[in-house]
Structure 1
Amino acid sequence: MKIVADENLAFTDYFFADIAKIDHVAGRTLTPLQLQGADALLVRSVTQVNAALLDQQAIGFVGSATIGTDHLDTQYLNEQHITWANAAGCNAQAVAEYVITALLYLRPHLLSNPSSLTLGIVGLGNVGQRLAHLAQHLGLRVIGYDPFVDDQHIEQVSFDQLLQEANAISIHVPLTQHGLYPTFHLFNATTFAQLKQDTILINSARGPVVAEQDLIADLKQTQRDVVLDVFEHEPKISKQLLDLVRIATPHIAGYSLEGKAKGTQMIYEAFCQHYHFAIEKQYQTQLPPCDRFFEGQDWHNSLMQHINAIYDIQADDSNLRACIHDGVVNQAAFDQLRKTYPLRREWASHGADLL
């Protein structure tokens, strides 16, 4: 059996090397030629999996170690009877912790005065619910909008009410262009006009949910604090945009060691079920120990003292800005940042009780 796998997947050899021969490839530039003779394909969101890639191939299984599926042509896969799986929720905790870290970087006083901010969460799936839990634990008021979810633990409001009441908004929706509630360019000139001038905006979901040119126009007028981990034209990111946002990171909000490992574990389990192999491996056995910053202290004290040691978000911002060449981020440098990213550890591994 032969597997073609994105070279940036975590623990691929641990999970699959005793099952099949593995070819590690660059996911963004994967070609049909590289799939010849392969039985299974393991990808991330940078690979468009569709007829152009898979026609005339013998692929029987596609696994994406990501929470989203907009890069998978699932209709085509189903029509071709190709089993596919993604890893919904695998990095939800990592993304939620990224958002809280960004908020604390921009507003350090929140730890001592959490009631001063209302966090609006757009999208209450796995990530949105995890973020709400963390924010509520820290004492923030949380309001949420999601027409598909009814969560009794979150104060849910209309989209317009959220835009008008929130002091910070974090986006956690899939990218959709059809149906009753499309999310493509959900945040646009009309949306921005409803926000308070000092409302923080954080996008760690999908780049095209925010209309880039409208955002640039809004930032020139309001100078609001914006945090972007994803970009509409990624990996083409303009210096003009980066000069206007407070924090920009290279699509790594979910890049914790635990999140990446869980993603590979989930597609490993789906792979085993498809090919009738026994599921015998657990990612936890591969995780090294790390500093236990939270033990013996409450969350507030731990975060006050150790937030930069747990995750230095400013370093990620600086590293991305260093990739600018001739007015845009260099694609090869962007991909290299993600390939060599030193995966951070989630708070639970540092001793935080997340119940």
Structure 2
Amino acid sequence: MYKIALFCEIPEDTMKLFHEDKYQITYEETSDVDGIVMRSKDIHDMKFSKRLKAIARSGAGVNNIPVERCSEEGIVVFNAPGGNANAVCELTFLGLLMSSRKIVDSIEWTKSLEKDVVETVEKGKSQFVGPELKGKTLGVIGLGNVGHLVANLGVKLGMEVIGYDPYISVKNALKLSWDVQYTNDINELYTKSDYITLHIPYNNETKNYINKDNI
């Protein structure tokens, strides 16, 4: 029987895969198990037991897992790229709309109204109009499982889209809309974009990818 430690909640359908006759589940955050299923917890400082065989991350990135040390100790690391790609794409545009159309500011302003609400709203609502996304230029850095969805949705919303990804796969390149302008020059994206969104793993190479010097 294999002992599995769950460091996060997982879907009920996934739990059904851990048959009781083969797996023992614990919610204790320990490495003295055969396998770990996790999401956001940073385990770089965790000491791994010799029993540990595999670590599975419920998500795409593995920056919170010491992959190199795991390789040295013979521990297999799994991830799930693309599993929540559509959800992340939708939330990306939620963020774009909320910031561009000043949604949060307008909600807070509305909460502060106490009297003559209708008249006050009519006089003050114009300060929260904000620019529409249609016709604006969206720069997408990283055209992987999430990035190519963001780029394509930007096109559907009437945006000019510039994509940059020096490591783009053939699979994702074929999924890109013909209307996405691909560039090999990151500075072109910085210069032309009204909005920039990043869909790349966080590591030493990408740390501080956006900074005061390039924007």
Give the TM interval when normalised to the shorter protein.
0.7 to 0.9
> Alignment partner of 1:191: what SS?
coil
How many residues are treated as equivalent by the alignment?
177
The CA distance in 2 between the partners of 1:114 and 1:41, in whole Å, is 42
1:89 Cα shift? Answer: 1.2
1:110 Cα shift? Answer: 9.6
Relative distance call for 1:123 and 1:74 in structure 2 (3 A) is same
The CA distance in 2 between the partners of 1:139 and 1:175, in whole Å, is 30
> Alignment partner of 1:90: what SS?
coil
What pairs up with 1:248-327 in 2 under 5 angstroms? none
What is residue 203 of structure 2 aligned with on the other side?
Answer: 176
- The partner residue of 1:14 within 13, 16, 22 is 16
Tell me, yes or no, if structure 1 residue 145 matches structure 2 residue 164. yes
CA RMSD of aligned residues (A): 2.4
What is residue 78 of structure 2 aligned with on the other side?
Answer: 85
Relative distance call for 1:142 and 1:173 in structure 2 (3 A) is same
The CA distance in 2 between the partners of 1:191 and 1:9, in whole Å, is 39
User: What residue ranges of structure 2 are gaps of 5+ in the alignment?
Assistant: 102-128
Higher helix share: 1
1:45–1:68 contact (8 Å) kept in structure 2: no
Relative distance call for 1:186 and 1:7 in structure 2 (3 A) is closer
2:8–2:37 contact (8 Å) kept in structure 1: no
Tell me, yes or no, if structure 1 residue 95 matches structure 2 residue 81. no
Tell me, yes or no, if structure 1 residue 39 matches structure 2 residue 41. no
1:114 Cα shift? Answer: 4.8
Q: Which amino acid aligns with 1:184?
A: K
The CA distance in 2 between the partners of 1:81 and 1:121, in whole Å, is 36
Relative distance call for 1:49 and 1:5 in structure 2 (3 A) is farther
The CA distance in 2 between the partners of 1:39 and 1:156, in whole Å, is 44
Q: Structure 1 residue runs of 4+, over 4 Å off?
A: 108-111
The CA distance in 1 between the partners of 2:10 and 2:130, in whole Å, is 35
1:110–1:116 contact (8 Å) kept in structure 2: no
> Alignment partner of 1:4: what SS?
strand
The structure having more radius of gyration, on CA atoms, is 2
Identity of aligned residues (%): 26
Residues 63-90 of structure 1, C-alpha deviations (whole Å, 9 max, x = no match)? 1111001122222222222222101111
1:104–1:110 contact (8 Å) kept in structure 2: no
1:49 Cα shift? Answer: 4.9
What pairs up with 1:1-355 in 2 under 5 angstroms? 1-11=2-12, 13-18=15-20, 19-25=22-28, 30=29, 34-36=30-32, 38-49=33-44, 52-54=46-48, 56-108=49-101, 114-149=133-168, 151=173, 153=176, 154-157=180-183, 158-177=185-204, 182-192=205-215
